[in-house]
Each structure stands twice: as C-alpha cells, then as structure tokens.
C-alpha cells in the first residue's frame, strides 16, 4: 500500500459511553452461566460407567489426515504460495524496501507494483525470494509509474515455475470472497481474507517519495493489506488473480497510499485486466502506453466534474491541437461530467477511467459549457512512456 492524495480522511472513532448497570448485569449472567455449566459438567461426569482415565477425545496426531477440500482458503493458499515471491529492492543510495510479486510466466517474469522496485530501477539490487526460501537476483524489465505496475525478471530462473492463473476482473462482483498474499511489514507468505467491498473505486496514490501519483479504477477489499503487501496478488475463491494489491487508506495517513500506517479494512487493488495489458506492454517494449484525450484537467477539484484547465503546465495549451479532445470540439473551461457510463466527479476519476481503456477506443464523453450539456464521441490517443 503512497502518500496523501485526494480522498476524505477516515473519521475519528467514537468512544462508547460506559453503562455500569449493563456491565453488572452481564457479569451476573456470566456467573450464573458458569455455575450452570459447572453443574451440567459434574452431572455428566458423575454418570460415567465408573471406568478410569481421561474422558477427553483427541484429534488425529497427524495433521495430514485432515483433508482440506479444494476451494477452501487453506487449499487455495497452499497452491498459490509457491508462485508468490517477496521482493527486496535496494537502491544505490541506500533506499529500499520490501514488497511482493507473483509469477507471471514460465520465462521468469514477475509482476509487482512500480513503487516496490522504483528505488532500484536504475541502480541497485533486486531479489525475489520464494516461499521455500530460495532467493534469486532479478532485473527490472519495465515500469509504468502512472499505472503503478512493474515487471521484473529472475536471473537464472528455475525451469519449474508455475504462473498464477489470471481471472477476469470485469466479472468480479461486490461480495465475492478475496484472498491476499504478501509480506506485510516484512512478514513473508502472509495470507489474509475478505470480500470485494466495491468496484471501480477511483484512487489516486503515491509512494510518498516525491514521485508522481498513480491512478486506478480499483477493486476495494477489506482483506487486511499493509505495507509489504504491495505488488502481491488478490485472488478470488478459485485462486485466480483478480487484482494487484497496491494502496490502502489509513487513519494514520489520512489518504490513499503506501504509508507505514496499518490496515483499517480499506485496501485497493489494480484490476488484473488492466495490469495484464500493462505487463504485456512492458515485457514487449519495456515502456508503458497510456490512452489519452489530449487535454489537461484540474486535479484539485472534486464533486463538480473534471474541468479542463485554461492552460497546461509550462504555458502550453490545455487542449492539444489536433488531439482527441480538440477533434471532438472540447475547449478550456469545459467540465467533463461523464466518461462512458461513469459519472466523473474529479480529475483523478477521469484519468482512472481513461486508463481502463486502450488507445484507439471510442468513448462517449459528456461535458458542460456555459450551463449547457453536450455529448461527443472521443477516440483515445496514446502516449508512450512516463513523462
């Protein structure tokens, strides 16, 4: 899980008022129940057939005799853990940290978060340790800062790698079971469970290291996710990857990110359909490709749509001449309120939705100008690399 971005801080918990009478009543009830339980236990023991020895029943001495049926959390975890790695990234300047990744293919490619390996991307060392304790050196193949996705490749990768199966994040439903695997606070091979709490949650996050923010239309889960889980798989009940754990909202940070504060049950994962597209591009070219509309929108306004700025940074035009937005007739000052079927309430929401598409996709865009609403079709352009 980065530093503060947009999003409302978590509310302060309310301390319950003491109710002495209620506490006393509960205490009396507990004492009475204890007395009744003791009496029943004595009655049962007094009517044994007189045989000596223990009356307890022991479970099997061999845990292997206990069958864990396919589909249980234990069975899913046992199958997935050998394909999940703990990543240690150490930069040339001494900065580094611990994160998680998972086996993407048999060639040794590992998918993780960009912020997990960013410190060692240009100089430094990256290692990946499997659940059996075997450690491998790795190199960074490519990074997508905006998507917060990275691919590393094991050096001298073993021949028996088993990639995790990829699910379909578009078919995930709120309430579906989730299983997260990672190394929270360095505790490798940790498994936690929860459900999908929400879908298409617009999240803007950063790693708190003066880097640019990443944006995702995230899967929200209440599975416990903490720093160190970043880059690890979010699995469905079958054990298929449906997301990459990337960010948390924490009461300590007051926003979305990968700060050192712990989980409060608000975790966010990059949908695997998007992560797969990014990973394939990184493996192929080493650089990410972003779909764009060719317009700069304000990032500090929320609730009224995404407003196209009067001008971009450096004094350049906010609407790129000849770009997708320009061809669709958009102008500076227009407020984009819908992208496809999604209501847009801010700049980060718009970017999150744009980046779920591919360059060349045609999307209906609704905007307001001078109090009037209009809808146009925009053909998304592309931008190569992180600018």
User: Which residues are annotated as catalytic?
Assistant: 115, 148, 230
Backbone angles phi, psi at 308, to 5 degrees: -70, 125
Report yes or no: 274 and 167 within 8 Å, Cβ to Cβ. no
Where are the extended beta strands (E) located within 52-123?
A: 84-91, 96-103, 109-112
Q: Which of 128, 135, 122, 127 is nearest to 91 (CA)?
A: 122
Q: How far apart are CA 137 and CA 135, in angstroms?
A: 7
Radius of gyration of the chain (CA): 26
Q: Which of 337, 335, 340, 339 is nearest to 318 (CA)?
A: 335
The burial of 57, by beta-carbon neighbours within 10 Å (0-12 exposed, 13-18 middle, 19 or more buried), is given as: exposed
Residues contacting residue 173 through CB under 8 Å, at least 6 positions apart: 196, 199
Place of tokens 């003066």: 210
Report yes or no: 291 and 316 within 8 Å, Cβ to Cβ. no
Pairing of strands 149-154, 135-144: antiparallel
Taking every pair of C-alpha atoms in the chain, what is the biggest distance, in angstroms? 96
- CA dihedral in degrees (211, 217, 222, 228; nearest 10)? -30
Q: Is 349 helix (H, G, I), strand (E, B) or coil?
A: helix
List, in sequence order, every residue forming a beta bridge with 367; answer none if it has no partner. Answer: 336, 374
DSSP per-residue string spanning 154-166: ETT--TT--PPPB
DSSP 182: E
């Amino acid at each position: 899980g980065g530093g503060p971005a947009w999003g409302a801080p978590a509310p302060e918990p309310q301390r319950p008022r003491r109710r002495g009478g209620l506490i006393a009543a509960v205490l009396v009830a507990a004492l009475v129940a204890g007395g009744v339980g003791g009496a029943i236990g004595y009655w049962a023991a007094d009517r044994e057939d007189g045989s000596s020895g223990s009356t307890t029943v022991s479970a099997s001495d061999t845990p292997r005799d206990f069958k864990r049926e396919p589909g249980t959390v234990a069975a899913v975890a046992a199958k997935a853990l050998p394909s999940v790695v703990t990543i240690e990234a150490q930069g040339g300047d001494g900065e580094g940290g611990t994160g998680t990744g998972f086996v993407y293919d048999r060639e040794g490619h590992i998918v993780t978060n960009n912020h997990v390996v960013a410190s060692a991307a240009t100089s430094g060392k990256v290692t990946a340790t499997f659940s059996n304790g075997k450690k491998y050196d790795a190199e960074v193949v490519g990074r997508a800062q905006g998507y917060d996705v990275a691919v590393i490749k094991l050096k001298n990768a073993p021949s028996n790698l088993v990639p995790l199966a990829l699910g379909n994040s578009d078919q995930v439903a709120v309430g579906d079971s989730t299983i997260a695997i990672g190394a929270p606070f360095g505790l490798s091979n940790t498994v936690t469970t929860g459900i999908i709490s929400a879908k298409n949650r617009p999240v803007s996050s950063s790693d708190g290291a003066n880097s640019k923010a990443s944006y995702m239309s995230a899967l929200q889960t209440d599975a416990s996710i903490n720093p160190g889980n970043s880059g690890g798989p979010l699995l469905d009940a079958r054990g298929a990857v449906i997301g990459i754990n990337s960010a948390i909202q924490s009461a300590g940070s007051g926003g979305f990110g990968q700060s050192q504060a712990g989980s409060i049950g608000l975790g966010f994962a990059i949908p695997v359909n998007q992560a797969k597209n990014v990973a394939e591009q990184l493996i192929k070219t080493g650089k990410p490709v972003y779909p764009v509309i060719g317009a700069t929108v304000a990032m500090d306004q929320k609730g009224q749509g995404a407003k196209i700025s009067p001008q971009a940074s450096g004094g350049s035009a906010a609407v790129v001449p000849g770009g997708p937005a320009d061809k669709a007739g958009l102008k500076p000052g227009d407020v984009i309120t819908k992208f496809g079927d999604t209501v847009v309430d801010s700049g980060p929401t718009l970017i999150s939705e744009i980046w779920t598409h591919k360059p060349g996709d045609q999307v209906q865009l609704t905007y307001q100008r001078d109090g009037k609403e209009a809808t146009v079709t925009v053909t998304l352009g592309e931008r190569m690399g992180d600018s």
